[in-house]
Amino acid sequence: MKTATATALRPLATSPVRWLLPVMLVLLFLAILIWLPWQARQMESSERQEQLIADTLWVEQTIRFQLGRHEDAMQALAADIASGSIARAQLPERMNRLLQTGRELRNVRWVDPTGRVVAGTDGQAGPLDAAGLLVADHARRARRGVYSQPLLDAAGATVLEYHYPIFDGERHLGTVVASFSAAAILDEMVPWWFAQDNQISLLDRDDKVLARRTAAGPGHGVYTHKRALDLPGSVVTLMTDSVKSEPKLLPNLLVGSVIALSLGLLWSLMALWIHISRRLQAEGALRQQMLFRTAMENSLLTGLRARDLEGRVTYVNPAFCQIVGYPADQLVGRKPPMPYWAPEAIGEYQHRFAGILAGNVEPQVETVFVRPDGTRVPVLIFESPLVDGDGKQTGWMGSILDISDRKRVEELNRQQEEKLQTSARLATMGELASMLAHELNQPLAAISSYTTGALNMMARAAGKGEALDCNVLKPALEQAGAQAQRAGQIIRSVHEFVKKREPERQEVRVQSLLDSIGALIELQTRNKHVTLHVLIPDDLPPVLADRVMVEQVLLNLTRNAIEAMAHVPPERRVLQIAASHDAQSGMVAVRVEDQGHGIPDDVAERLFSPFFSTKAEGMGMGLNVCRTAIEFHGGTLTHRANPGGGTIFTFTLPAATAAAAAT
């Protein structure tokens, strides 16, 4: 057994695998020791060169910016000379002030087209020489500022001249000439921190040094850069030469590298131990968060359901199981159709599910779920994409709310609203009771008179033994019948208005609504001596509304309008009911206009508030009920002042054609 084991282990002992890997690691280590310092040296050299280029560019832009300021000042001076806005006697003072803007500006002068000096600064230079005249002529022909090539002044210093032509229209008045000292440009415009590390020079087009600044000593020629100054008409180059030499390798490189690598290894081990400790802590915290999240999800009253991209249920919480009545093990992993879908809505569920798979998610859906015992549960579903930590969608997350209680509350509110509307109708009829009795007395008295006359005619004919003439009796009976129909119509209008019924939306014309309550409106208008105008277009489309609710709104608004005109002169007591159709919005607007006392601002703010009334005997519910009824139909009830005095109430209802198109 031992022999077999030794035989089996011997190939492993002599295998090159045991020493090849360590040798490769040592060679890699040595290669890194050699390559790393060299690479670091190269990177440092590259960084120094790149930094020098960036700093040189910044200095060049700074010089160009300062020269640009002087150019703008020369252009402004030339413009003032051309316009005559400055007297010639004031020019020297103006030019001397320009010299104070920078020591690099030596002098400023105005020379005429022949080169003679017209005005200049103190200690000004003489007239232009032949070279200067050529530059001035170049500026005149270009009609812009031009620099001369570097030249030497009387003291032997290098200067640059800037020539800007002066034109009064097309008439050439000469040239403004500004002289800049090349040495002063470096001294004044180059930052001190840059001069501490570099030798800065200005070169002409032949690379001849025009000026040099060596605050930190001469450069070593290792890191250099040239940048041409953008001077129109002149070639001047900015050259920088760093005083830094090439980086050197560290002494005792091997020892330093070994120490650095050893420290790096220890630091890596320390960092790894810290990382493991933190990871264990993070795992513990994550475990606690998962337990807390699970407890929180289990305690929620909102049902949670997660589905993958194929619609398969991947997670449900206890609240969802309680809503649908199925345990989690019967739901997780299941694909549609689901057991809690209502049979009559299978098609709707399938259509919505297909939309979800296609990415067309309705963020909020109201539907019904069916429990195993047949109980129907109205629910509100909120659906949103389920996205993982990488931002990739993995499915859909749904929140399901049991809205059974809300539905019961809505039903109670609807019933209370109906009761409130019925009470309002009864209160309205109570106010109309006295006028109704007066109006019924008239047809009843007429019926009594006609029937009495008919009986008298019959008695006279019987007493005389004569045959009764039906043609004489017929008009009296017809008039009695007409009065009876009139009384019946008034009673039927009241009955239809106050009887309790379920709201029913149907197509109805506005004119038909007015005809139904016309007798009640006429009662009020005749009693208050109000003239009624009705303006209803023949082509007005019907509205989709509950007849009785809208009739109540019209009756309340007309009654308020009539009462508002009780104290105005009789000739102004005009009540107008008009209607119009807005094809763009698909709404029909009905206006009730009066010419009464109007509505004060403080009353208008609370006009639609419940239990607010300006009448001593009012309940304060009329306008509130009207607004509720109109909003029930999807319309609005508003008011505004009548330009002719009074108030205009306007309510809108959806046109039947627009409602059908939306459906």
* pLDDT value at 282 more than 60: yes
Q: Which pLDDT belongs to residue 11? A: 46
- Which of 345, 369, 402 delimits the end of a domain? 402
Q: Are residues 567 and 652 in the same domain?
A: yes
- Is 80 exceeded by the pLDDT of residue 96? yes
Evaluate if residue 9 carries a pLDDT over 60: no
In a domain, 249, yes or no: no
Whether residues 53 and 192 share a domain: the answer is yes
Indicate whether 250 belongs to any domain: no
pLDDT at position 325: 83
Q: How far is CA 547 from the centre of its chain?
A: 42
Task: Specify the CATH number for the domain of residue 320.
Answer: 3.30.450.20
Are 34 and 79 contained in the same domain?
no
Mean pLDDT of 394-401: 78
Separation between Cα atoms, residue 118 and residue 104, nearest integer Å: 23
pLDDT on residue 541: 92
The CATH number given to whatever domain includes residue 140 is 3.30.450.350
Q: Do 261 and 161 lie in a common domain?
A: no
> Nearest 10 degrees: CA dihedral of 286, 291, 297, 298?
170
- Give the model's confidence band at 319: pLDDT under 50 very low, under 70 low, under 90 confident, else very high: confident
Q: Name residue, tokens 């459906």.
A: 663
pLDDT greater than 90 at residue 591: yes
**Do the domain assignments include residue 655?**
yes
Percentage of the residues of the chain whose pLDDT score is greater than 70: 72
In-domain check, residue 57: yes
Which has more confidence, 227 or 468? 227
DSSP structural state of residue 655: B
Span 20-50, pLDDT tens digits: 665 576 567 666 766 766 776 777 778 888 8
Q: Average model confidence (pLDDT) for the chain?
A: 77
| Angstrom distances, CA of residue 279 to CA of 274, 275, 388 | 8, 6, 21
Same structural domain, 385 and 453? no
Please give the pLDDT value at position 108: 92
The answer to whether position 201 is within a domain reads: yes
Residue 599 belongs to some domain of the structure: yes
355 pLDDT above the threshold of 70: yes
Number of domains forming the structure of the chain: 6
Predicted structure pTM score:
0.38
Distance between CA atoms of 571 and 564, rounded to whole angstroms? Answer: 14
Residue range of the domain that includes 326: 301-402
pLDDT at 114 over 80: yes
Domain boundary among 500, 524, 541: 500
- The pLDDT, as a whole number, for residue 577 is 92
Same domain, yes or no: 396 and 412: no
- Whether residues 307 and 382 fall in one domain: yes
Chain center to CA of 115:
66
Residues 74 and 99 in one domain: yes
Helices (H), 499-569: 510-516, 518-528, 547-564
Highest mean pLDDT, choosing among 57-71, 357-371, 379-393, 484-498: 57-71
User: Mean of the pLDDT values across residues 580-593?
Assistant: 91
Domain at 541, CATH number? 3.30.565.10
Judged by average pLDDT, the poorest of 72-86, 380-394, 544-558, 601-615 is: 601-615
* 216 and 78 within one domain: yes
Whether residue 446 is contained in a domain is answered as: yes
User: Which has the minimum average pLDDT: 125-129, 439-443, 448-452?
Assistant: 439-443
Do both 489 and 627 map to the same domain? no
Is residue 79 one of the residues assigned to a domain? yes
- Could you give the dihedral angle defined by the CA atoms of residues 48, 53, 57 and 60, in that order, rounded to the nearest 10 degrees? 90
* pLDDT value at residue 592: 93
Of the three residues 244, 269, 286, the one that is the final residue of a domain is 244
CATH, residue 410: 1.10.287
Same domain, 469 and 486: yes
Asked whether residue 525 falls in the same domain as residue 609, the answer is yes
pLDDT at position 378: 83
525-567 per-position pLDDT tens digit: 877 888 889 999 989 999 988 887 788 788 888 888 888 888 8
